[in-house]
Amino acid sequence: MRSRNWVAVLLVNDLFTNEFEPDSTVTTIIDNDGQFGDVEIIIGEDIVYIRQFDNDMETMDVIQMSPFMFREIWTALNHTEGVFLTNFESNHK
C-alpha cells in the first residue's frame, strides 16, 4: 500500500468554519455537494468530539476521543501501512 500524503489545497468553493469558544474550538466541515451532513470537530482541553447529524435516524452520531487519539489520527494519515508507536512531546512548560 502506498503512503498517502494529505495536502490541504483550499479552493474557492471549499467551505468550513472555525469558532473559538472559551473552552473549545469548533470546526465545521460542510459538504459542498450536499450528499452528507456537516461534520463538527469539537476540540476541548481534555476531549475531542466528532459529530454528524444522521437524517435517517434523526439523531446525532458522536465519536469521542482524547486529544492524543485525535493527534494520532492526523499523524496516521501521513504514514505508510504498518504498526507505529507515537510519542508526542508536550509543549506545556
Residues 30-45 pLDDT 10s? 988 888 999 999 999 9
**Euclidean distance between the first and final Cα of the chain, in Å?**
39
pLDDT band (50, 70, 90) for residue 74: confident
Residues 43-56 pLDDT 10s? 999 999 999 999 89
How is the chain split into domains, by residue range?
16-69
Q: What is the pTM of this model?
A: 0.74
Distance (Å, rounded) from C-alpha 68 to C-alpha 88?
A: 8
Distance (Å, rounded) from C-alpha 82 to C-alpha 74?
A: 15
Distance (Å, rounded) from C-alpha 48 to C-alpha 45?
A: 8
